[in-house]
Homo-oligomer: A and B are copies of this chain.
Amino acid sequence: MAQDLVIGIDVGGQTAKCGVVDARGNIIAQTVISSENTTNADEFVAALAEALTRIIAESHAEGRIRGIGVGIPNGNFYTGVVENAVNLMWAKSGNIPFAKMLQEQMNGIPVSLTNDANAAAMGEMTYGAARGMKNFIMITLGTGVGSGIVINGEVVYGHDGFAGELGHTCAVRHNGRACNCGKTGCLETYASATGVARTAREWLEMSDEPSPLRSLDVIKSKNVYEAAKEGDKLSLRVFEYTGRILGEKFADFIEFSSPEAIVLFGGLARAREFLEKPILDAMNENVIPLWRNKVQLVFSSLKESDAAILGASALAWEL
């Protein structure tokens, strides 16, 4: 009999990336569909099922798909429901029983879903930098800061299915930045790609320090990264500041679950050359002696284009 396969789907605000994956983590067929063509959940699920059927046929995988794993914002692992996903056109309000809907469209192939950071943690554990680790914390540094926590080899879902919102722990207690969640001072307002750009803009306004960033109309984290590479002092200090804030919070996280490693992934993690040292310094200064210099800081080695599909597919192996 041909080997078992799974499907991994990463649903974001603009696209849904889908792949057929084997047990070794090879993506043997893949496709991308738009996730902003419709505001109707039924239509989106139908388009998704059509795309899946196509890549299943392409890879001669009919009858061999063991399960479908989905990484999706606000996805509840326990219920398979997508709850109030403000970033998804077709799921902006209310609860969409997404797993059930997709399973019906796929002739009963079981579907499991969780949020994207949890899926990333599954991917690292199954195919990536955290292979063999039973206790680690995945931090995704993108537009926001996401997290997936693994304890005893299992992703932590908590009482309601939504555990692991470390991007909304408090980084700055007083006069902190306003966050989309409605609070102030959240880690993600400082330590995301958006946060890096915000820090640069604030600092440019506060001083007359020369910087190549001043010539830009819009400053994005990518610009700050490029300026830092060229030796711009202000941009280098932005990464130092960002790294220290991350490291300070990582110390708190270590005191919670005593992980073997913290694994970083996402666009901003590509700035490793500027972030690694301040993160490690601040983390080790702020953790109790028991864990000082003992917890690894690992940068994901998964190919970024594949990682989202692999992470979601890892969920399907558990089905």
Binding site for B on A (CB under 8 A): 134-135, 149, 151-152, 154, 156-166, 168-170, 173, 181-183, 248, 251-253, 255-260, 286, 288-290, 294
Which of B160, B257, B290 is close to A156, meaning CB atoms less than 8 Å apart? B257
How long is the Cα–Cα vector from A183 to B287 in the complex, in angstroms? 8
Which residue from chain B places its CB closest to the CB of A245 in the assembled complex? B173
Which of B157, B162, B183, B252 is close to A169, meaning CB atoms less than 8 Å apart? B252
B159 x A259 contact (CB < 8 A):
yes
Tell me whether A134 and B152 are in contact in the complex, defined as CB-CB below 8 angstroms, given that A169-B252, A170-B251, A288-B181 are known contacts. Answer: no
Chain B residues within 8 Å of A256, by CB: 149, 163-164, 166, 169, 253, 256-257
Beyond the given pairs A151-B151, A169-B252, 20 more chain A to chain B contacts, judged by CB atoms under 8 angstroms and listed by A's residue number, are A135-B159, A149-B256, A149-B257, A152-B156, A157-B258, A158-B259, A160-B258, A161-B258, A163-B256, A163-B258, A164-B256, A164-B257, A165-B255, A166-B255, A166-B256, A169-B251, A169-B255, A173-B173, A182-B289, A256-B256
Q: What's the nearest-Cβ distance from chain B to residue A102, in Å?
A: 24
**5 shortest A-B CB distances, which residue pairs?**
A158-B258, A163-B258, A159-B260, A135-B159, A165-B255
A151 x B158 contact (CB < 8 A):
yes
Chain B residues within 8 Å of A173, by CB: 173, 248
Most B CB contacts (10 A, CB to CB) among A168, A253, A259 go to A168
Chain B residues within 8 Å of A288, by CB: 165, 168, 181-183
